[in-house]
Amino acid sequence: MKKYLLAVQFDESAPAPSEEEMQQQQARTAQVTADMQAAGTWVFVGGLLPSHASTVVRPGNGTTTMTDGPFAETKEQLGGFWVILCEDLDQALSWAEKCALACGAPIEVRPFEDAQWG
């Protein structure tokens, strides 16, 4: 089994969804997560606050600086993610399709390195 990150890419320049649309989206993504859990694929899921809530810590010359806001100045930002265990990329892509339909946003699929940590 291989771990994959399914990263939700939100366009922060787009108009915010209505409360009703947000509730429907949350219900759909909760169902996909429940389906992943039932299939034994799910490892972890998390939603993120908008990028303006972030702080970037940058190293340089043996010290660090901290700045408010996202690392990348772009309208598309990481909005949430699933970590899943799959047999192969095709299975991960199948889950990504379900996630994209559920949350109405692009999903980036990225495998974890094979190296074992800890």
Q: Which tens digit of pLDDT belongs to each residue from 81-110?
A: 999 999 999 999 999 999 999 999 999 999
40: left (phi over 0), alpha (psi -120 to 50) or beta: left
- CA dihedral (8, 11, 16, 18) positive or negative: negative
Contact by Cβ (8 Å): 45, 83: yes
Query: HEC string of 29-57?
Result: HHHHHHHHHHHCCEEEEEECCCHHHCEEE
Q: Which tens digit of pLDDT belongs to each residue from 16-34?
A: 889 999 999 999 999 999 9
Q: Could you tell me how far CA 77 lies from the centroid of its own chain?
A: 10
pTM of the model: 0.85
User: Over 60: is that where the pLDDT of 118 sits?
Assistant: no
Q: Superfamily for 2-111?
A: Dimeric alpha+beta barrel (3.30.70.1060)
Contact by Cβ (8 Å): 25, 103: yes
